[in-house]
Amino acid sequence: MEVANNLIGKAVDLLFGVVKQEIDYVRNCTENIDKLKNETQKLNDMKGMVQQRINVAKDKGDRLLDGVQNWIEKAEAEVFKSGEFLEGEAIAKKTCFNSRLCVNLGTLRHYSKMATSKTSTILQIHEDGKTYESCVSIAAPTPSILDLYERKNLDDIDTHKFTLGEIIKALSDESIQIVGIFGSGGVGKTTLAKEVVAEVKNLFADIVFITVSKTVDATKIQEKVNIAAKRIINGDKVLIVLDDIWEELLLSDVGIPCGNNHMNCKILLTSRSRNVCEAMNVQRNICVNTLTEDESWILFKRVVGEKIETDTSLKKIAKAVVQECGGLPLIIQAVGRALRSKSSPIWEATLDRLQKHAPLDIAPEIRKAFTHLKLSYEYLESEEAKSCFLLSSLYREDGSIPITDLVSYGVGLGIFSNLDSIQDARNRVQIAVDTLKSSFLLLPTEYKDLVEMHDVVRDVALLIASKGKDNFLVNSGKRLREWKPTKNTSESYTKISLMYNKISELPDQDLQFPFLDTFIIRGNEVSFVPDEFFRGMKEVKVLDLSYNNLSFLPQSMKLLKKLRMLDLTANDGINEISLLGELKDLEILMLGFTRIEQIPEEIGQLTSLRMLNLEWCDSLSCITPGVISRLTCLEELYILHCRGDIAELSLVELSKLKSFRTLHLFVYNPGFFSKGTAELETLSGFYIQIGDRSDYVFSIQKSHIRRLLYIARVGNVFTDSVKKLIQVSESIVLESIEDMDSILPDMYEENFNDLKSITLRGCHNVSCLVKTMEQDTMQIFGESETKEKFFAQMEEIILVDLQCLELLWDCPHQYISFGNLQIIKIKGCPSLVSLIPVAVAQGLVNLSEIEIQDCDNLVVVISASDEHKNDGEIEQIEGTEIDVEIVFSCLTSISLSGLSGLESFYSGHSTIKYPSLKFIKVEGCVSMTRWGHGVHVIPNIKFHDQGRDCSINDIIANEASGEIEFGSLK
């Protein structure tokens, strides 16, 4: 009964509570409606104020806070709904309360309850809006160049597309942190860097792009990388692009975390200099090449429009204009923008100015592009490099530039301060050339003693050479048949180059060149120089008349008292040179390939002469006694292919010259050296030919190899005096020498410590290079294992037509070292069975090229074990195979041809890695069934057979003809 009473009591309380609330709705209706009106007005006011702030933020370009726009929409909707409600309540009030006796309690309750609910909602929205009363936005960062960058169309621009892929591939490699992009100015490095960023931006938490420029502002760089550096420290993956670097930049000094502890930081560098990238320890250095002719045309059309294809008269001019742009996108686009809306006469005028190397006389866009390239020159720190750059512009367009010319011209012009010797000049020119090549102001060629200059860069050089104190006249390689300078223009020239034309006569008129220091007319057909021609050139220091048809020298030449370099090479009519004795400042005199019959007494007056070249002067029969010894400054003498008695006389006098350093000499008879070779052994450089005359060129073209010896077709050559000469030679060629079995002991009594290159041709009795028993070897080396080993300094081995050659050495392998060997070439050695055992092959760390041809009995190149020859068969010593990993880290090319007995490259089972190998040729190796048993890792070459990937062993096994050729993928 008590429980029932409690339940009834609670039910009554709840019922009275609901009744009370409903009565309150009716009783407080007016109050609730008024409160809703007030809160609605407050919310409306707040919404207006926030909207004003939003408008201001939008005008400033700021970024709105998340949620503020949603709040505005919600507030606006609720204010609108509240207004509609209040309007309905007012209408209901008028219709239902016209009479006090007609009060509708239900209507009062309805509007009062709805007003209370809406007020609650509005109060909550108002509370939410307080967040935006003081701030509705955050300041948006200024758009970066990456935000504004528009992707380039690289379709059909394969040069850039390939390079882009290589850069992205390098950045994707987890083992690589720093990637370098280098190339000439205007080639597209910055564009490619931006393309890379656009391509990989989703792979990084942050990307920072900084233009460094020549003047480095370390503080500015630190400010830009500050936030990125913090993210790197926190483990985020960040890419930092440093564009346009001109000199080494220490990353730690500008606040960029890098190194093994911060591999989450990737760094991309761009520079005009390969050396700068290397100095910054890039792990992958990628060159950006100029565009091909077809690619240049495609890019040009995209700038000027496809209409150029349909305008046949303009298309021919446009093609020529594009050719003058030299494949540089910067120039192509600048020229295209300047011409795209111009008439045909403007196109023709522009082409004419480009061909005349006067780019600053045309449109501002083109002028700006050429000025951009000019910066590379202006930022050269070396004055010698700048001088060599300008001298290189004297050559014809697309022509090769001999480095030796830069040396002789440079010495003549005195561009080297405190010059020690001609060799010092060579070294300094090489440094200058390397600097210019690194900055793409000069380009390498396949020959190490020649360089080239890009056409557009040459235009820039000629542009520079036409301003300031210099004024060059360069008409090289233009097929001129005559030269007629005008008096008004000639007086300002400092250098004139007319090389490689068809000029046969020089003007016979009074010409004044008061500032001219260089006159070059090499490679023409000049047979006559007017007697007074040089009278107006008294300041000339460099005169190059080489490769013409001169028969005599004009009397006015002796007026050139300041002349320091004279080249008369290959004027085969010249036979009298007495007047040259008047040129007492002369330091370099080139007389090679002339018909001079004697060196007259007057030449002894050239006491400043440093270099005298008499090579291939077949008619030379007399050097006046005492002349050579009077040339007290003489450093270098070249008398190759002159008569033996002349060489003998000269050698005696040379011993009296304290400055003498270099000799090129030919003698028929090795007995010439019977009086001793002491003078030669002290020289810093020589090239001596004994026996048959030859123009043989040593393939090792390196400045550090300066003592070269060539012996051909002569018997009884290895006299004691010649052996002493051999002992100090760095590179030796022996051709058709029959009385030798080996180089040691036949040529050397002890080890050949200085020998870097050996070439044997047609020496049919040579059975090996080194033949010595172990006890003999011990006598040479002693007990110490630290002594120099055989071949330790060898860089190149060339063996051709050695019929009896059976092996390279006949001594214990532990005395053999090929650590410096770079090139090995063997051809026509039919008795050779194997080349190098694996124990020695492990030391081939610098080997770059292997070429073996026409060795019918060669079975294997690298044998798996120690081996002995037994009647033409290979007998392996059991248990001696070495199971190791071999890495040919520098090997780039392997060529095997005409090896009918070759079974494999390697006969063992070890793993061999070829990380740099880019070319493999196997031809005429019909017995070859595999490359080798072991694992062969060749990452740069992809092997395919019938459309599927495979190994080199698969390729060789399936090629019945024994002919394959593979190169690295582009």
The CA distance from 755 to 708, in Å, is 10
The fold for domain 145-287 equals Rossmann fold (3.40.50)
Reported as a pLDDT band with limits 50, 70 and 90, residue 850 is very high
pLDDT band at 970 (very low <50, low <70, confident <90, very high): very low
Q: Each residue of 192-217: pLDDT tens digit?
A: 999 999 889 888 999 999 888 777 88
Cα 34 to Cα 29, 39, 41, 116, 443, distances in angstroms: 9, 9, 11, 10, 89
pTM: 0.72
Residue 145, pLDDT > 50, answer yes
Structure tokens given for 612: 């005298």
How high is the pLDDT of residue 149? 72
pLDDT in tens, 904-954: 999 988 899 999 999 999 999 999 989 998 889 998 888 887 778 888 888
Kindly tell me if the per-residue pLDDT of 876 is higher than 50.
Answer: no
pLDDT at 880: 46
What pLDDT is attached to residue 96?
58
CA distances from 55 to 43, 58, 61, 824 (A): 18, 5, 10, 78
CB distance 708 to 683 below 8 Å: no
* Per-residue pLDDT at 784 exceeds 50: no
Question: What is residue 866's predicted lDDT score, i.e. its pLDDT?
Answer: 55
Could you tell me the pLDDT band of residue 498, with boundaries at 50, 70 and 90?
very high
694 pLDDT band (50/70/90 cuts)?
low
137 has pLDDT over 90? no
Distance (Å, rounded) from C-alpha 354 to C-alpha 753? Answer: 56
pLDDT band per the 50, 70, 90 thresholds, residue 676: low
Q: What pLDDT, on the 0 to 100 scale, is given for residue 960?
A: 59
Q: Are 789 and 821 in contact (CB under 8 A)?
A: no
The DSSP element (H or E) to which 124 belongs, if any, is helix 105-129
Averaged pLDDT for residues 8-20: 55
Cis peptide before 554 (omega within 30 of 0): no
Which position has the token pair 């006159």? Answer: 519
- For the chain, what is the mean pLDDT? 84
pLDDT tier at 879 (50, 70, 90 boundaries)? very low
The phi and psi torsions of 452 (rounded to 5 degrees) equal: -135, 165
Q: Higher pLDDT residue, 751 or 47?
A: 47
525 or 219, which is more confident: 525
Distances (CA, A) of 766 to 194, 716, 770, 810, 832: 61, 15, 10, 12, 11
- Tell me the per-residue pLDDT of 396-425, one tens digit each, with 9 for 90 and over: 987 899 999 999 999 999 999 999 999 999
pLDDT, tens digit, for every residue of 443-489? 888 888 999 988 778 888 888 888 778 889 999 998 899 998 877 66
Tens digits of per-residue pLDDT, 752-761? 777 899 999 9
**pLDDT at residue 519, rounded to an integer:** 97
pLDDT at residue 860 tops 60: yes
Are the CB atoms for 265 and 238 separated by under 8 Å? yes
Domain with CATH 3.40.50.300 in the chain: 145-287
* pLDDT at 1 (0 to 100): 58
Q: Assess whether pLDDT exceeds 50 at residue 693.
A: yes
Least confident interval from 97-111, 309-323, 788-802: 97-111
Predicted pLDDT of residue 852: 97
Residue 334: what pLDDT? 79
pLDDT tens digit string along 224-272?
Answer: 898 889 999 999 999 999 998 988 899 988 999 998 899 999 999 999 8
Q: Amino acid identity of 755?
A: L
Residue 217 amino acid letter: D
For 38-78, the pLDDT digits (tens) are 888 888 888 888 888 888 888 777 888 888 889 988 888 88
Look at the domain 380-470 and name its fold.
Answer: Arc Repressor Mutant, subunit A (1.10.10)
Task: Give the span between the Cα atoms of 926 and 879, in whole angstroms.
Answer: 30
pLDDT tens-place string over residues 347-385: 888 888 777 666 556 666 666 667 767 777 887 889 999
Query: pLDDT tens digits for 564-615?
Result: 999 999 999 999 999 999 999 999 999 999 999 999 999 999 999 999 999 9
**From CA 671, how far away is CA 721, in angstroms rounded?**
9
Give the residue-averaged pLDDT of 280-290.
Answer: 92
Q: Distance between CA 314 and CA 295 in Å, rounded?
A: 19
How far, in Å, CA of 194 to CA of 930, rounded? 47
Q: For residues 805-825, give the mean pLDDT.
A: 88
CATH 1.10.10.10 domain span(s) along the chain = 380-470
H or E stretch covering 965: strand 964-967
Give residue-wise pLDDT tens across range 75-109. Answer: 888 888 888 877 777 777 666 555 454 456 666 67
The stretch 813-831 carries a mean pLDDT of: 91
